[in-house]
Amino acid sequence: MKIAMVSEHASPLACLGGVDAGGQNVHVAELSLALARRGHSIVVYTRADRPGLARRVTMAPGVQVEHVTAGPLAGIGKDELLPHMPAFAAQLARRWRRDRPDVAHAHFWMSGLAATEAGALTSVPVVQTFHALGTVKHRWQPEADTSPESRIGTERRVARTVERIIATCTDEVKELTSLGASRSSIDVVPCGVDVELFRPSSIRPGTARPRRLLVLGRLVPRKGVEDAIRALAAIPDTELLVVGGPAAQELDADPEVRRLRSVCDAVGVIDRVRFAGRVAHGELPAVISSCDLLLAVPWYEPFGIAPLEAMACGLPVVANAVGGMLDTVVPGRTGMLVPPGDQAALISTISNLLDDAPLRRRMSAAGVRRARDLYTWDAVAARTEQSYLSVLAGRGDADTVAGVGR
C-alpha cells in the first residue's frame, strides 16, 4: 500500500535526535518504519517549522518525510497551530492529486481535521489516531487546558467523519463513542516498544545502595510526580529518581522542578529525590535497569509508553489504573495497579513490592515476555495494516487488498 501519515506538529525526524521527541513523534516514526518493513511505502506529512528544511527527506528505505509549508517557518506551540490547518489541508490535497495514497492515517486531532478536508477533495480514505482527547484533558485539567475552544467539537466531527479510528487503549473506546463514533468503526491497537533497545540488562541493582524508585516522563502536574514524592516520605531507605523535563543544566530554572523541590522539602525527602532531567533515548535502558520499580501515577494517560519500556527491560511497574495502563500492566504478574488518588494504596503497594524480591523477579520475567509477545512495533504494524485493509475492503478496493502480502 501507499500510506500517507499525517502528523502536523510531531515530526518523526525529531526522534533521531531525541531532544524534541514526544510519544507521538516516536509512535509515527516507529510505526512507519515497521510498516515499511512489511513492504509498504510511507510518506509522513509534517509541518515545516524552520527555514532551510528539504521538501522531502528519506528517513529509511520505504519511509519519506515531507515538510509542508503551513504558517510561518518557525516553531509554534501545537495549541497555536489551528489557524494554519486550512493551508496544511490544501497542501495535502495538492500532493494527493499528483500521487494519490491508498489510505491516510492522521495522528492528533488537528491532523485529522486537515486529512479529512484533503480526503474529501481527493477521495482518499482517512484513518484516525487521536493520541489524546480534548474531553479527557478538559475533565482533568479545566483551568490548565490551553486547547482551542473548538477542539472538542472538531474531534467530534472528525470521529464521525473518518472511515476508521485506531484507539490506543480500550479505555479510549468509551470516550470515542461518547463523541458519536460508531463502535464498529473503532479498532484498538496499542503503542509499541523497541524491544531491541529496551531489553533486560545483565547488570541489576545491587544491595550497596538504597532501594530506588523511578518516575519517567514529562514534568507536568498531571503526571503525578508530586504523588510519588509524597509516597516516598512514608517509605524509608528508598530513593526516587525523576527522569524527564529539561536538560540537567536547565533544571534550576524550570518552574515545575522548583515546585516539586518545594514539595520534597516540605515532606522531608529533599535528600532522597534526584532530578536527572532529560536523558537521551538510547541511554534510558541503563537508567531503567538501575532501579527497582517504575512508578507511573498520572491523573490520566492516553496510553503510557514508559510502563512498556520498563516491562521490556524487566522492571516491575506500579501504575495508576487509568488509560492504557489498564491494558499493559497485568496486576500481580507484571506489576500492580492502584486507584488514582489513593495515596495509602500507593504507599502500601510500593512497600510490599520492595519487600518481596522473589515477586519482583517473577514480575520482571513476565513483563519482558508480555512486551515481546504483544507490544513489538512489528506486531503493532501488523494490526494497523489490518485496519487499513478493512477500510479499503469497505471501499471495494479488492485489487489493493488482494495485493498486500504477495
Are residues 179 and 281 both part of a single domain?
no
In a domain, 197, yes or no: no
In a domain, 203, yes or no: no
Are residues 82 and 179 both part of a single domain?
yes
Are residues 86 and 188 both part of a single domain?
yes
Are residues 188 and 39 both part of a single domain?
yes
In a domain, 397, yes or no: yes
Predicted model pTM? 0.91
CA distances from 308 to 74, 107, 232, 392 (A): 33, 20, 23, 31
For the stretch 230-261, pLDDT in tens is 999 999 999 999 999 999 999 999 999 999 99
CATH of the domain at 92: 3.40.50.2000
Tell me which residues of the chain have a pLDDT lower than 50: 17-19, 406
Name the region of 372 (left: φ>0; alpha: ψ -120 to 50; beta: rest). alpha
The three-point CA angle 25-29-32 to 5° equals 140
Are residues 138 and 153 both part of a single domain?
yes
Domain around 393:
2-192+376-403
Nearest to 368 by CA among 358, 360, 380, 357: 360
In a domain, 32, yes or no: yes
In a domain, 41, yes or no: yes
Distance, CA of 231 to CA of 242 (rounded, Å):
14
pLDDT at 146: 83
> How does DSSP assign 111-129, residue by residue?
HHHHHHHHHHHHT--EEEE
Count of the separate structural domains present in the chain: 2
Are residues 364 and 392 both part of a single domain?
no
In a domain, 276, yes or no: yes
In a domain, 204, yes or no: no
pLDDT at 402: 62
pLDDT at 324: 92
Are residues 41 and 153 both part of a single domain?
yes
Are residues 249 and 271 both part of a single domain?
yes
Are residues 367 and 383 both part of a single domain?
no
Q: Are 349 and 340 in contact (CB under 8 A)?
A: no
pLDDT at 21: 58
Helix ranges (H only) for 77-217 are: 85-98, 109-122, 134-140, 151-161, 171-178
Are residues 221 and 285 both part of a single domain?
yes
Are residues 127 and 150 both part of a single domain?
yes
| Crossing angle (nearest 10°) for helices 151-161 and 109-122 | 40
In a domain, 37, yes or no: yes
